[in-house]
Structure 1
């Protein structure tokens, strides 16, 4: 059976024949039944999947995809094959003519993690024979840790049970980023599509394991890197920020604060480059989006947003009169339509990896781009001191241009050239440079030192601190009966109180049989390549013990060193859905701990893990606390009394409305 020569698609009013990747997908799926399409964003994987369903003459195709892409799938199916019967978000439509024509059921990923999912799958399989299952953005069903997600289990259950009903079942997995953090992700995708356990694929991030997984992905799938033939102009705009060096030295105590300052320097350059239908991208948003909006509107442009918590500007930017769209990482996946109107992207703060940047650019450099040229601009700040040149942005740009990651090795077979600097390591480089500069008035950054009182310390000072702050119990009570924002402001004004607390904490834990942060380190040492947030990190000992093994974001009211970000932990400078693990080791303190859990829910990926240690005697209602976590979208895996502590481990199993989260100790 060959692809009919007359087949063509209508895209933006143009008759377009299938490209080579789309034809190859259809033919290989017909011949092999199980395959992965790992082609880049914007190369036409959706059309390839639709074409495949017709080449194998699938009477019933199940498409599992992100919620945001359901309208696009529906529209493409009806545009390409208007005679198709399509139903949305319904496991069991009532079709009496299933053996005639071509039917499609579109289900979003979240539908596979509900309590009712097994029953719906059972009814579906009893009623119909499935010919093809397409899992779009299949990396959202990958196995990230030692605990398989309910979503992945249910998708695998659908595939394996559908195979029992139909031995000729075809399965197509689609993802431009099958490996992001670790090799376990890629291995799990191979196992999901084939239904075969692959114990031969090692998960430790070694070169041999990368190449072995690369071989498996190449054998099972195809990967097209061919984009529409448009010219891409990449332009860097130098921005001298030497006049801000003193301010950065004094105030840039975290990545976020530094980027807030540098955004102010970039804004004049950004304003000069604005044209109607320009997207301004910023990886960090807090204290940055407001600056951009005010400046852009001040020039007379209309502004919309497409970010994690506010996607209200998307439709009006594509179909309406909005001139400028301010976007964050939410734009990088599952979005179509920007290419119809936009050919200009300005990177205020770019993503951290080349894979993320590739996905972002793929929203514009994709089929349906109506312009001949795509312009990508990046304002690049730099500082000078007696001829010495240093640029934070140039370092970021070089990082994006280098192919040195585990993902590049496993997916594209690119041999790593070395270890990338983590975000915190890169930020430490910046701080060291700022300290070396001699320009202007010298300002020293004094970091609070945690100390333990020794016999030769002035007893008068020890007595003063004890009288002023109280013993460990009184300090715990004061912090627990205040709102975190209040405690944060108080400690920022008087870091000595924070130092005193941790001095007493060091003494207290000497008598404990179990020390929570040490248990966290042991647990994380058995895993690799995770993105972890340590909420209330104190001495940042978790990050210190696991340097090079995981990316650890450390947050506390006061920063003991440059790797710690000072903030109210109810509002941390992280993007939505970026964490694999969120940890609270004796740090759920304050009247608003629900805000902490809300922040963990916001920043954790689906299937990410929440880790909590609390003093059992401090918990008024353990079952009520558990119910609160469950209402916040977490599935409890462990609830154990360990010594004097209560230990909880939970998986984020569903997205919930963050404003509804209420948790009490």
Structure 2
């Protein structure tokens, strides 16, 4: 058994190791991160052990917020106003990108089991069919599929919700957003939670971040910055009719060309300096 002094020393060593791994993951590209974890698999476990102890001191874990959102919206029929987005057969497919230990998939699975046997639960809630795909750099358990999240093994338009819960970590994180757009079905939703200190603005609202995602084709639904640690964003992928309508509107205002120029400028800026250097700052934890 360790003495109190040894325990203190061990905690300090573990903390500095976590900070080092964390810094690596935020300051290299996603393909380099995958190679790093493949060459040293223990890094993934060490990182998540450290991350778990960080989150314990937070008033709220963003994973729990997303799970509660799924539970609340499951009280209405799929594709109804206020309900979860789903396919025509009412199946809801979720991709949890950079899932960590795939807690979201586990909690959703538990919820579905509970609701099927719950007395008084609405029929559509009992019949709810949610499939969660969880992706990360290492297969920490059977729920996880190993992938670089800029290129996941899912078909185009196959998902209804894509989630990034503190997962925009590589220097090339806008590639993850492009991948989210590819796998989302029209009217599918993009849910993001990010640490407030990563945003350049003092209020942590991430206005530049929102504008960038709009340039990439997403429509912004809402920003929730009530939590003192992180900001949550909701976007959706517009269906073709809304896209055509918007394009016509911009053309009438002669702003369509301006928007295309902005997209081009964004790509040129990314080629010169990766977005991990200017759009979202790396999340570097302080020494305790």
Q: TM-score range by the shorter chain?
A: 0.5 to 0.7
Gaps of 5+ in 2: 75-90, 113-128, 244-259, 281-288
Cα distance in 1, alignment partners of residues 212 and 19 from structure 2? 26
| Equivalent of residue 583 in structure 1, options 163, 166, 179 | 163
**Pairwise CA distance, 1:491:** 0.4
| 1:506–1:650 CA distance, 2 compared to 1 (3 A) | same
Higher relative contact order (CA 8 A, sep 6+): 2
2:83 matches 1:530: no
Cα distance in 1, alignment partners of residues 154 and 160 from structure 2? 13
**Structural RMSD (CA):** 3.0
CA contact (8 A) 1:491 1:497 kept: yes
Cα distance in 1, alignment partners of residues 99 and 67 from structure 2? 12
**Pairwise CA distance, 1:606:** 1.2
| Equivalent of residue 539 in structure 1, options 97, 101, 117 | 101
**Pairwise CA distance, 1:476:** 2.5
Bigger radius of gyration among the two: 1
| Equivalent of residue 466 in structure 1, options 3, 13, 16 | 13
2:199 matches 1:619: yes
2:237 matches 1:652: yes
Any residues of structure 2 matched to 1:38-53 within 5 Å, and which?
none
Cα distance in 2, alignment partners of residues 466 and 565 from structure 1? 30
Aligned to 2:221: 637
CA contact (8 A) 1:634 1:654 kept: no
2:91 matches 1:507: no
| 1:544–1:625 CA distance, 2 compared to 1 (3 A) | same
Q: TM-score, normalised by structure 2?
A: 0.65
**Count of matched residue pairs:** 209
CA contact (8 A) 1:514 1:643 kept: no
2:156 matches 1:594: no
Aligned to 1:190: none
SS in 2 for 1:611: strand
Deviations 1:208-253 (A, max 9, x none): xxxxxxxxxxxxxxxxxxxxxxxxxxxxxxxxxxxxxxxxxxxxxx
Cα distance in 1, alignment partners of residues 177 and 139 from structure 2? 21
**Pairwise CA distance, 1:644:** 1.2
Deviations 1:588-628 (A, max 9, x none): 00100011101101111111100010001012252221111
Aligned to 2:24: 478
Cα distance in 1, alignment partners of residues 141 and 161 from structure 2? 22
Cα distance in 2, alignment partners of residues 618 and 495 from structure 1? 27
Deviations 1:339-388 (A, max 9, x none): xxxxxxxxxxxxxxxxxxxxxxxxxxxxxxxxxxxxxxxxxxxxxxxxxx
2:122 matches 1:560: no
Aligned to 1:493: 39
Q: TM-score, normalised by structure 1?
A: 0.29
Aligned to 2:188: 608
Deviating above 4 A after TM superposition, structure 1's stretches of 4 or more consecutive aligned residues are 462-465, 654-663
CA contact (8 A) 1:532 1:583 kept: yes
Any residues of structure 2 matched to 1:142-291 within 5 Å, and which?
none
Any residues of structure 2 matched to 1:410-449 within 5 Å, and which?
none
**Pairwise CA distance, 1:473:** 3.8
SS in 2 for 1:610: strand
**Pairwise CA distance, 1:569:** 0.8
CA contact (8 A) 1:633 1:654 kept: no
CA contact (8 A) 1:634 1:650 kept: yes
Deviations 1:153-196 (A, max 9, x none): xxxxxxxxxxxxxxxxxxxxxxxxxxxxxxxxxxxxxxxxxxxx
Cα distance in 2, alignment partners of residues 639 and 538 from structure 1? 23
**Pairwise CA distance, 1:530:** 1.4
Cα distance in 2, alignment partners of residues 507 and 481 from structure 1? 22
Cα distance in 1, alignment partners of residues 2 and 135 from structure 2? 32
SS in 2 for 1:625: helix
SS in 1 for 2:56: helix
Q: Would you tell me which structure has more helix in proportion to its own residues?
A: 2
Deviations 1:44-66 (A, max 9, x none): xxxxxxxxxxxxxxxxxxxxxxx
**Pairwise CA distance, 1:643:** 1.9
**Pairwise CA distance, 1:471:** 4.4
